[in-house]
Structure 1
């Protein structure tokens, strides 16, 4: 699994960071997504997919 983030599309809502803070954070400069672990363990797969689904701007995606 690999997480991709489009920071140009991100609106800084923070749903990803709230949902899975061990994988996502927000930039202190502009609030956009920061992926802390672009290749998280398989066990986090369901939580990662949930965070991606909750992103209001569609800035996150997952490659299997």
Structure 2
């Protein structure tokens, strides 16, 4: 519970593939990532189950022997 008695729920999307990254604003040095990898992780987060971590297949293959993913 938060201090104002509102419930806090979180969703996370993790995906693994190549991305393109770069500085997009020279005055305040914003750094961003692009490609389908980012879009897929964002969709997994947006459409995911609250209080859960959504893991894409490629990320699952890299993590399955190190972490309990179920």
- Whether TM-score is above 0.5 comes out as no
Q: Which has the higher contact order (CA 8 A, sep 6+)?
A: 1
Which has the larger share of strand?
2
- Larger of the two Rg values belongs to structure: 2
Q: TM-score range by the shorter chain?
A: under 0.3
